[in-house]
Amino acid sequence: MKFTEEHEWLRVDGDLVVVGITEHAAEQLGDVVFVELPELETQVAKGDEVCVIESVKAASDILAPLDGEIVAVNEALSDNPALVNEDPTGAAWFFKMKIDDLSALDAYMSEDEYKAFIG
């Protein structure tokens, strides 16, 4: 897995990149009550707002970590946004992207680097 400074995690799944938020981010948000997922087949550029998460504390945006196309969304989050708090790095992934260049992931932090970043 790779990690962004915006507290997103990125996991390669075949030729796709799966995107979610870290446990640290989920804890900071508090109880998640709503997740707005992106539209399928949306072309996004790095830094574009892709999702909105609302918790009892705040609303936060999930940004596209890479240029690419949204090819899958986790509909389970629409029905059960609390999954974000229960399993942030597993069942609570937000979307999957098809990107042109997987080497773009090299710019992001490893798990150890992320732990130092939030430490």
Please tell me the predicted confidence (pLDDT) of residue 21.
Answer: 96
Identify the sign of the CA torsion 109, 112, 115, 117: negative
Partners of 38 in beta bridges: none
pLDDT digits (tens, 9 = 90+) for 1-58: 999 999 999 999 998 999 999 999 999 999 999 999 999 999 999 999 999 999 998 8
- Residue ranges of domains in the chain, CATH in brackets: 2-100 (2.40.50.100)
Please tell me the predicted confidence (pLDDT) of residue 100.
Answer: 83
The 8-class DSSP code of residue 24 comes to H
CB 32 within 8 A of CB 53: yes
Please tell me the predicted confidence (pLDDT) of residue 101.
Answer: 86
pLDDT digits (tens, 9 = 90+) for 81-117: 999 999 999 999 999 999 988 899 999 999 999 999 9
